[in-house]
Structure 1
Amino acid sequence: MLYSISTMVNKVFLYILLSVSCLGMAQTNSQTVPLEEVITVLETQFDVKVSYAVNDVKDIFIEKPDPSLTLQETIAYLNSKTLLNFKLLDNRYITVSVIDKQISICGYVISLVDDSPLFGATIAVNNTNTGAVANTEGRFNLENISANAILTISFLGFETKQIAANQLFSPNGTCKRILLGEASEALNQVLITKFLTTGLQKLIDGSTVLNTKAFGILPGLIEPDILQSIQALPGVESVDESIANINVRGGTNDQNLVLWDGIKMYHSGHFFGLISAYNPYLTEKVVVTKNGTSTQYSDGVSSTINIFTKDKINSKINGGVGLNLISADAFVEIPITKNVAFHLSGRRSFTDAFSTPTYDNYFDRSFQDSEINTRSNNDNAQSSSDFLFYDYTAKLLVDLNDNHSFRANFISINNNLDYAESFTTSENTTESKTSNLTQNNLGYGLQWKGQWTDKFSTHITGYYSKYNVDATDNRVETDQRLTQSNEVLDTGIKLNSTLTVNQNLNILSGYQLNETGILNETTVSSPQYELTKKDVLINHAIFSEAEYRKNNTYFRAGVRVNYFQKFDKLVIEPRLNIRQKLSNRLALKLEGEFKNQSATQIVDFQDDFLGVENRRWILANNSSIPIATSKQGSFGVEFNQNNLNLEVTSFYKLVDGITASNQGFYNNFQYVNASGSYTAKGVEFLINKTANQYSTWLSYTYSTNDYEFETFTPSNFPNNVDIRHSLSLAFNYDILEDLQVALGGIWRTGKPYTKPIEGNETVQDGNTTFVNYDTPNSERLDEFLRLDASVNYSFEFSNAVKASLRAGVINLTDRKNSINRYYEVNPNNSNEAIEINNTSLGLTPNFSFRINF
């Protein structure tokens, strides 16, 4: 009985299903019919013979042509409604052929997971420079492209899809849906697709991604300068507007771990910090993490800045060249075979050949407080200086098969300053000598990725990084020759293994070995003096973490265990990252981490490099220079609705093991050896509204940052980079599809400084006179305020060649912002201290022209 009832139900269900299907087919066929049927009617109606290949016309459906049309009008109608060419040879015969038509298409890029539009997805026409970016609805349009073109549709955290353009063609302009599934290895999905500007994205673990290919426009910038761009993020700024001194939540620049394709970098800027040294046009993405870092990364007790270059092998040569008022650059992607390619880039300044107003402003800003300027003020001396920088990269890409790939990388960053000086003696003879300062960072890297099964993969990385700053200072008036060198050699290897337990859970485990050697050397010719110090430190680490995401919950937790062989010291570092979505609009996030750092920079005022560079890398010795450690926690609330993003995050960070020489004090502790800590705590606020044509944001950070040195009196005082209030506001707008403008400003309270004691400004110790400073960091500079603007215009020479013109102005109002203040003993009056002020960039215009092919 039960069997017969079940059989009856199945038959009824099948009948209903077939009825609905037939009805749907009838409705479809009432609107469109197979092209083969239309051709049969055409032959009968006009007594003609149509010659065609069956494979060319099958699966093509169109609306029936109006029977009142003439033969010529019917042929024109068929040509407009299909991608075929109907050609009337004579009154009797018609041929049908496939041709490469120029068509216009549109589509919607949609997430397969939750059916949401993928705002910011990139659509590239293969082997051309034509492409589009999906808007807030996921929609894109491409006009006048080949019907035979292949489109590559990609979005961070989702699987890349290739689709033929003719599959998206619709005679009536209907836009088809393109569904992208999440990448199987990517639990860390994109949370906000357009964050501040196009190309900035927020990941679910709280990190921020800069996608340089789709990068929009930021105020004052003419290029997607990697390290300048990240300063748009809350909690990230530079107290002296230099990328060589990026402060993340109150940390110093050397506390930022910078990785370029897995290679640890010890130098990141040109013009001694005013320009990023990383070519953005072969960079695929930059991931910035302030807290809750993955256990696979160590060092950098303040942040991790992870730079990834392009990693896909194209079938056609792509490249570009550019020129601005300081330098020229070029890059090219060269496919050798289907599975092998080279990526090359290079940039060089032309400042040694001729100068521009932009260069003059940068030079004055960089060298305002160096021997280059102070010596040239000598009436008996004449001087000249030549400065240039260059960088170049190379990458070999080899896809061994579908599951294994090999990559080899090389990067070189160089700055060079020549300073020539002539001096007229009392006997009216002229003596001339040249001094030199070079700064460079070389990096070599190898990577091998293997996908062994659907659930298990490995990634092996090896690198070698070499940093040098060398100075030769020939002083004519004293006939003295001073040479200095700071060298870092860092070698590392890391093995990551990832196990995909299921679609919600990944487990990462691995091992890392690092050997770091640092050399500091100084020699003086008269009186003869030589000092050489070299240290080597080996660090072993094992790490493991679990990453889980399901529905509204994201969770990543793990631990890293570090062993320092030289000190027989074990450092255990737990990490935590949680995000819980309470509703479609509201989420809570909790992050925490322990980290360590063994290589830091000290600021040496007595032994600087030509007065231009006074920082040098040193290694921890576990006594006077301890291993720096950090403990950090943050809690935040996120609100998202209709492309309005609101975030409030509170943070607490304790960094222990810093040294007085590491901080660069301009006070009575300037030459004192001591170790201590600093505590930074505060609140970050961001409100960001984005739309198709504009984006605007306001960010505000309130924080306190205080030192604690037990051996100092007082033991507690404000940090050198204690910026209590920091506010940024920006707006960018697409006036036309190819014309964008951006305007923004930065305001923050001045950094602390120390004044001499009034009425007792200097003090003598033996034969040496020092500035007699008052309570450390008890005064503040005036408020910092800067307005910037940029404009970008893009155009095409052809479908394959695109160009852009960009103009930017830093400090529109030409405000003279003080960024540092200290005091020196007056050489004409030893009882008096003179005030030295360093100022920011004045009004600085720049302009760039680029061609991409």
Structure 2
Amino acid sequence: MNSKILLFCCVFLLFVNSQFAQNSTKKIALSTLLIDLEKQYNIKFSYSDTDVKEVFLEKPNLDFSLTKMLQFLNENTFLQFKTLDNRYITISFLNKKINICGVILDAKTKTVLPLCSIKIVNFKSGTTTNSNGEFNLNNVSLDASLLVSFIGYSSQIIKAKDLYLQPKCKEIFLLESSEQLSEISIAKFLTSGLQKSEDGSTVLNTEKFGILPGLIEPDILKTIKILPGIESASESISNINVRGGTNDQNLMLWDGIKMYHTGHFFGLISAYNPYLTNKVTVTKNGTSSLFSDGVSSTINMQTSNRITNKFSGGGGFNLLSADVFVNVPISNKLEFHVSGRRAFTDFLITPTFTNYFTRSFQDNSVSSNTVNDSSTDFYFYDYSFKVLYDINYNHSIRASFIGITNHLDYKEAYTSNNTTIEENSVFKQANLGAIVSWKADWNSKFSTNVSAFLSDYNIDASDYNKDTDQFQTQFNNVLETEFKVSSKYEFSDTFHFLNGIVFNEIGIRNTTTVNAPTFSKTEKNVLLKSAFFSEVEYKKNNTYARFGLRVNYFDKFNEFVVEPRINIRQKLNNEVSLKLEAEFKNQTTTQKVDFQDNFLGIEKRRWILSDNENIPIVKSKQLSFGAAYTVKNLYVDITSFYKKVDGITAANQGFYNNIQQFNSVGNYEVKGVEFLINKKSKTISTWLSYSYAINNYTFDIFNPETFPNSLDISHSVSTAFNYSFYNNFKISVGGILRSGNPFTKPVEGNETIQDGNRTIVNYSNPNSERLENFFRIDASASYNFNFSEAVKAVLRVGFTNITNKQNTINSYYIVDNNSTNNVRRIDNYSLPFTPNLSFRVRF
């Protein structure tokens, strides 16, 4: 009993002592203390309320004399107490220099962040954190503010006085930012990893990619096809059509390099490895004046710019290829990022490869050869390399390199006069790119960026045709270099000013040779252009506005092209916002579609350059207006748009009719409406999108002059349902239903006509018929698991066209004397039911 009482007394005394200690060290507000002191000493303090309202200190001994009390206040606050006479005392903000320190940490992992930038706001001085995440600054003004920033994290403003007189260096936590260049208005859009920026562009964060119907990985170009207004009339990601535009009207940028090759397997797979591509931004209208070309859209792919100081990476495989990527830190200031991917389709046949191969080579000499012995080797690979070097906290250098290659080797053996003859046809398509950039922050408001890139694209093909005993070679090369200087001045947090100048040179060469009859033709064109761009950006409260102007000068044509750009977004309240976008754009490179000189029957596109006569500069003007409604987890968006593109030629539209023989210049005009509704919860995301458009060509020399665009998809509906079982298992099911593509039939009863010594198909009015509606249902599932805390894995399966519907995506006619009416219809079909899976590990 006595021991219990003794224990209780001890606990009680400890409690009393702890409460006494807490009370004795409890801080009080200076404003409250001053009132008590005025009464106690019969004095009057003169001060500003703003100087004392946030000052707290330990309660002093009220037995102090007035002199000792003022000394105590001067030592324990940032204020200066000065006696004017026996009654009045002034309080002013102390303007003195202090020494401060801090430790910067990741808010989630609590790991230190070395090489963080610490800048004194409105001054050029600052420092960076060391390998332990620590920093020290001496002789800092007491009223100074510090800007703490780190690539990939949200910046913070810290007051210097909050770091002063601390018992140890204060810990400052930074939150990782999923968006580096612009703020996010919708953090999760359709699926995790898809976001809406405040300027209206759509951002794909590949690292945080969730799941989409049919996809087993965040394939960059396949993913963006779920957005309203973005279609692929031929099911190929190399043929992405944004608001009725052709695929060559999309500006493709990888780390600032303009890319001319976008797809592996003749467009069925994106050519860009998504696992080192950190962010993809898609802009359909209201583009920044920083960008030119791409009259239909800008697709800007960016790899990580952050030095992690941590060895990490990953790898995986699917039923077509395998890949690996690593981030290798060399020092606190230097890091390498490397990735590589290669198909194994030249030595391992999978069901996925079989379907892809049949889809790519249907109705050509590769698939139709059933008489002679033949073999086909097809594979692709891509790789990238990036160097990240931080000179100091306000100067950084980045260098990137990318290589993309498709290779097809077709061997055909046949017997002639008891002799076996073997012929070899080769097709190689490659794009190399390199860029170096230097970013400098001269002070807290002014920064510059200097960059130079090179892009080298090649098609090198040789083809033997046994039926005509003809051997031909074709070569297409695009070599582009660019030097750009830009500057950004931030007048305030709400008002930014961007300016820059660009010098660009593009050279394109096309060579064709034939052995029987002997023929050789080479065309080479070079174009120099320069541009000045400027834009102002304003964002405050519920308003976002960006006004830009780009002035382009073409040296060869002695011509100026002026392009205004507008992007305005206004929130009427927390739920409803309006948006207005408008732009003028131009481009000087287009693709010519050759059906007469194709390779092994495969449609082949050659890049050509504007000459401002037969091939004019393509110019567009576009206007869109819309509204968005957001409440809790519901998002509704409706946008109307109008676009007109002048300077297109019949040769680059891919007509399967008599028009393809004419070198005519015309335009297309498209107007339509895009609608999207997306409902999200913690475990479910479901959406429905609908697009309606009227898209017509106008070519003056044709009859009729105006007719439907080959990409006129009047109605398109897509829907999907995503469900997350806990945090590691997800499923996604979705479908698409859209109008069939326009095509041209021969004149009924007069299907063929003579053209000199040739018999050709006598086509009727262009694009006057439509294919059957396109319909497809896809599904996918993913399962995440961890081998350890540091090693994470994901298994995904995907099923394309699970109903195995035979969708016709293209139709044309050829002369066939053995067929009814001497013509035969050729139909190209989409992918049948195609399974795929992937397994990935990340560390």
Shared fold per TM-score greater than 0.5: yes
Whole-Å separation in 1 of the counterparts to 2:821 and 2:55:
104
TM-score between both structures, scaled by the size of structure 1 = 0.80
User: Does structure 1 residue 708 correspond to structure 2 residue 704?
Assistant: no
Question: 8 Å contact 2:153–2:174 — kept in the other structure?
Answer: no
Equivalent residue for 2:366, pick from 367, 372, 379: 372
User: Does structure 1 residue 586 correspond to structure 2 residue 576?
Assistant: yes
CA pair 356-161 structure 1, distance change in 2 beyond 3 A: farther
**1:158 maps to which residue?**
154
**1:260 maps to which residue?**
254
The residue identity in structure 2 corresponding to 1:633 is L
Q: Structure 2 unaligned runs (5+)?
A: 1-37, 60-104, 114-131, 135-147, 159-170
Question: 8 Å contact 1:636–1:648 — kept in the other structure?
Answer: yes
| Post-superposition offset of 1:583 | 0.4
Superposed CA offset, 1:831-851 (max 9, x none)? 521110000000000011111
The residue identity in structure 1 corresponding to 2:322 is A
Superposed CA offset, 1:509-547 (max 9, x none)? 000111000000001112211000000001100010000
| Post-superposition offset of 1:613 | 3.9
**1:658 maps to which residue?**
648
**2:203 maps to which residue?**
209
User: Does structure 1 residue 415 correspond to structure 2 residue 406?
Assistant: yes
Whole-Å separation in 1 of the counterparts to 2:762 and 2:803:
37
TM-score between both structures, scaled by the size of structure 2 = 0.81
Question: 8 Å contact 1:437–1:610 — kept in the other structure?
Answer: no
Question: 8 Å contact 1:639–1:645 — kept in the other structure?
Answer: yes
**1:850 maps to which residue?**
840
Question: 8 Å contact 2:817–2:823 — kept in the other structure?
Answer: no
Question: 8 Å contact 2:152–2:177 — kept in the other structure?
Answer: no
The residue identity in structure 2 corresponding to 1:600 is T
**SS at 2:266's partner residue?**
coil
CA pair 539-18 structure 1, distance change in 2 beyond 3 A: closer
Equivalent residue for 2:722, pick from 709, 721, 732: 732
**SS at 2:788's partner residue?**
coil
User: Does structure 1 residue 561 correspond to structure 2 residue 555?
Assistant: no
The residue identity in structure 2 corresponding to 1:159 is S
Question: 8 Å contact 2:650–2:662 — kept in the other structure?
Answer: yes
**2:226 maps to which residue?**
232
Question: 8 Å contact 2:688–2:719 — kept in the other structure?
Answer: yes
Whole-Å separation in 2 of the counterparts to 1:17 and 1:562:
56
**SS at 1:411's partner residue?**
strand
**2:454 maps to which residue?**
464
The residue identity in structure 2 corresponding to 1:363 is F
Whole-Å separation in 2 of the counterparts to 1:756 and 1:713:
15
Whole-Å separation in 1 of the counterparts to 2:222 and 2:180:
30
**SS at 1:670's partner residue?**
helix
| Post-superposition offset of 1:283 | 1.0
Equivalent residue for 1:437, pick from 399, 412, 427: 427
| Post-superposition offset of 1:247 | 0.3
Question: 8 Å contact 1:160–1:180 — kept in the other structure?
Answer: no
CA pair 182-390 structure 1, distance change in 2 beyond 3 A: closer
CA pair 182-339 structure 1, distance change in 2 beyond 3 A: closer
Superposed CA offset, 1:722-768 (max 9, x none)? 00000110111111211111111111010100111111111111111
**SS at 1:361's partner residue?**
helix
Question: 8 Å contact 1:416–1:439 — kept in the other structure?
Answer: yes
Whole-Å separation in 1 of the counterparts to 2:759 and 2:287:
47
Whole-Å separation in 2 of the counterparts to 1:415 and 1:18:
66
Within 5 Å, which residues of 2 pair with 1:598-747? 598-747=588-737
Whole-Å separation in 2 of the counterparts to 1:310 and 1:216:
19
Within 5 Å, which residues of 2 pair with 1:811-830? 811-828=801-818
User: Does structure 1 residue 194 correspond to structure 2 residue 188?
Assistant: yes
Superposed CA offset, 1:2-38 (max 9, x none)? xx99987989999x98999999xxxxxxxxxxxxxxx
| Post-superposition offset of 1:448 | 0.6
The residue identity in structure 2 corresponding to 1:255 is Q
| Post-superposition offset of 1:157 | 8.4
Superposed CA offset, 1:261-283 (max 9, x none)? 00000001100100001111111
Of 563-572 and 308-317, more deviation after overlay is shown by 308-317
Whole-Å separation in 2 of the counterparts to 1:391 and 1:759:
51
Whole-Å separation in 2 of the counterparts to 1:21 and 1:489:
68
User: Does structure 1 residue 452 correspond to structure 2 residue 442?
Assistant: yes
**SS at 2:528's partner residue?**
strand
| Post-superposition offset of 1:609 | 2.5
| Post-superposition offset of 1:611 | 2.2
Question: 8 Å contact 1:208–1:288 — kept in the other structure?
Answer: yes
User: Does structure 1 residue 776 correspond to structure 2 residue 766?
Assistant: yes
Whole-Å separation in 1 of the counterparts to 2:572 and 2:189:
21
CA pair 747-831 structure 1, distance change in 2 beyond 3 A: closer
Whole-Å separation in 2 of the counterparts to 1:748 and 1:160:
48
Query: How many residue pairs align between the two structures?
Result: 715
Within 5 Å, which residues of 2 pair with 1:38-49? none
| Post-superposition offset of 1:231 | 0.6
**1:318 maps to which residue?**
312
**1:396 maps to which residue?**
387
The residue identity in structure 2 corresponding to 1:280 is P
User: Does structure 1 residue 792 correspond to structure 2 residue 782?
Assistant: yes
Question: 8 Å contact 1:240–1:819 — kept in the other structure?
Answer: yes
The residue identity in structure 2 corresponding to 1:235 is G
| Post-superposition offset of 1:668 | 2.0
Whole-Å separation in 2 of the counterparts to 1:18 and 1:279:
52
Whole-Å separation in 2 of the counterparts to 1:369 and 1:494:
45
| Post-superposition offset of 1:299 | 0.2
**SS at 2:598's partner residue?**
coil
RMSD of aligned alpha carbons? 2.9
Whole-Å separation in 2 of the counterparts to 1:354 and 1:122:
46
CA pair 339-12 structure 1, distance change in 2 beyond 3 A: closer
**1:81 maps to which residue?**
none
Within 5 Å, which residues of 2 pair with 1:117-128? 123=108
Whole-Å separation in 2 of the counterparts to 1:472 and 1:669:
27
Runs of 4+ residues deviating >6 angstroms: 4-14, 16-23, 152-157, 176-179, 181-185
CA pair 461-177 structure 1, distance change in 2 beyond 3 A: closer
Superposed CA offset, 1:303-362 (max 9, x none)? 000000011111221010101110000000000011101100000000000100000000
The residue identity in structure 2 corresponding to 1:707 is Y
Superposed CA offset, 1:536-571 (max 9, x none)? 001100010000011111110011000000010110
Question: 8 Å contact 1:399–1:405 — kept in the other structure?
Answer: yes
| Post-superposition offset of 1:430 | 1.9
Whole-Å separation in 2 of the counterparts to 1:439 and 1:751:
28
Within 5 Å, which residues of 2 pair with 1:292-331? 292-331=286-325
CA pair 527-849 structure 1, distance change in 2 beyond 3 A: same
The residue identity in structure 1 corresponding to 2:654 is G
Question: 8 Å contact 2:338–2:385 — kept in the other structure?
Answer: yes
Whole-Å separation in 1 of the counterparts to 2:47 and 2:270:
71
Question: 8 Å contact 2:107–2:173 — kept in the other structure?
Answer: no
| Post-superposition offset of 1:431 | 1.1
CA pair 644-123 structure 1, distance change in 2 beyond 3 A: farther
Question: 8 Å contact 1:184–1:503 — kept in the other structure?
Answer: no
**1:538 maps to which residue?**
528
**1:358 maps to which residue?**
352
The residue identity in structure 2 corresponding to 1:266 is Y
Whole-Å separation in 2 of the counterparts to 1:515 and 1:604:
26
Within 5 Å, which residues of 2 pair with 1:236-255? 236-255=230-249
Whole-Å separation in 1 of the counterparts to 2:186 and 2:317:
33
**SS at 2:267's partner residue?**
coil
CA pair 791-673 structure 1, distance change in 2 beyond 3 A: same
CA pair 600-677 structure 1, distance change in 2 beyond 3 A: same
| Post-superposition offset of 1:382 | 2.1
